[in-house]
């Protein structure tokens, strides 16, 4: 089939293009730009892709729907809420990596500081947390990277009411690619190298996304404490989660709960007792690796969740949702091993 991609110039878009080019069900990837302008060679838009001869064409909704079976959007927040409205009206399949369709209008406006998509359009979107949402609509709101790592780490605990719902604390760390390509004062080499930086404290736009899904699993969850830290690596997220146990438990019992939930999920690995994951275990793969521990002295549950923010946190999960939407094998087009060393 032919597929469309808007946003190839961003990091997630670049990774998504590479995955689509290698996908066994994709015959051609058609590229479109969302800012108007003229035809542009991909190698001028993404210098790393010098061998590619494809062009990036101006976006036209009718052309996209005529030429393709699905549209992938790897754009910044604020683009798809208007760009894709004709496709939504036509019920054309769209997989959106931005945050424009993950939240209700009022919540989006509060956290993204801009007007939201029309309410009628938002109602047609489904949240594509791939391991749990098996009732996708034709508009898939791909989850955010922090949200993916955190929700996969919390799902068994929240779904089975194994924690005190008022006690969730998340210390999440991300590599620089999670901030995108735009250069800022805090993303320069001299600031990132040999440094750690907290950012968007109590203001990160993935907070309402995480809480929204947690409440769907268990309405007793009122809120979470969520902190993000920029670390001096290119790719990867480590979400370290703490919560008080609902009742005294053991690491073995918690591991059993996690193993039951993820037994049939090819991209989630639960480590044995005593082991904790590292970023190197997931970089370049679509995997989420989880480590679980219980401290009986403090009655605290610890979960460590690691993903590649550009794969499982963006492009890789988009391919998972594509596979599900078109009833393809779950692992089609996705690497089974990380890049190591």
Q: Look at the domain 145-308 and name its fold.
A: Dihydrodipicolinate Reductase; domain 2 (3.30.360)
* pLDDT given for residue 340 in this prediction: 87
- Could you tell me which residues come within 8 angstroms of residue 155 by beta carbon, excluding any fewer than 6 positions away? 131, 132, 217, 261
Residue 36 has pLDDT above 80, yes or no: no
DSSP code of residue 200: S
According to DSSP, the residues that pair with 2 across neighbouring strands are: 28
pTM for this one?
Answer: 0.96
pLDDT digits (tens, 9 = 90+) for 180-228: 777 788 888 888 999 999 999 999 999 999 999 999 999 999 999 999 9
Catalytic residues: 145
Spans of all domains in the chain: 2-123, 145-308
210 touches 147 (CB < 8 A): yes
Asked if the domains at 2-123 and 145-308 fall in one CATH topology, the answer is: no
- CATH number of the structural domain 2-123: 3.40.50.720
Share of the chain above pLDDT 70, in %: 100
């Amino acid at each position: 089939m032919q597929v469309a991609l808007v946003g190839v110039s961003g990091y997630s878009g670049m990774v998504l293009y590479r995955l689509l080019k290698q996908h066994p069900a994709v015959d051609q990837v058609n590229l479109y730009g969302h800012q108007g302008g003229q035809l542009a060679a991909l190698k001028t838009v993404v210098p790393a892709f010098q061998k590619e001869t494809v062009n990036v064409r101006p976006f036209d909704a009718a052309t996209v729907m005529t030429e393709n079976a699905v549209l992938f959007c790897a754009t910044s927040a604020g683009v798809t809420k208007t760009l894709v409205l004709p496709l939504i009206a036509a019920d054309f399949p769209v997989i959106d990596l931005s945050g424009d369709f993950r939240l209700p209008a009022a919540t989006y406006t509060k956290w993204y500081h801009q007007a939201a998509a029309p309410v009628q359009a938002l109602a047609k979107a489904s949240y594509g947390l791939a391991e749990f949402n098996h009732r996708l609509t034709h508009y898939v709101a791909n989850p955010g990277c922090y949200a993916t790592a955190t929700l996969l780490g919390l799902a068994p605990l929240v779904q089975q009411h194994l924690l005190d719902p008022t006690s969730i604390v998340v210390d999440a760390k991300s590599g620089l690619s999670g901030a995108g390509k735009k250069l800022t004062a805090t993303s320069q080499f001299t600031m990132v190298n040999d440094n750690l930086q907290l950012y968007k404290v109590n203001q990160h736009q993935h907070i309402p996304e995480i809480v929204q899904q947690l409440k769907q699993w268990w309405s007793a969850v009122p809120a979470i404490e969520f902190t993000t830290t920029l670390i001096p690596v290119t790719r990867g997220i480590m979400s370290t989660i703490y919560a008080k146990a609902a009742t005294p438990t053991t690491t073995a019992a918690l591991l059993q709960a996690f193993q039951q939930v993820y037994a049939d999920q090819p991209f989630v690995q639960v480590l044995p007792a005593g082991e904790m994951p590292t970023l190197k275990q997931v970089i370049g793969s679509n995997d989420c690796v989880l480590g679980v521990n219980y401290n009986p002295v403090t009655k605290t549950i610890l979960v460590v969740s690691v993903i590649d923010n550009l794969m499982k946190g963006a492009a890789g999960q988009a391919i998972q949702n594509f596979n599900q939407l078109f009833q393809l094998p779950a692992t089609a087009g996705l690497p089974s091993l990380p890049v190591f060393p």
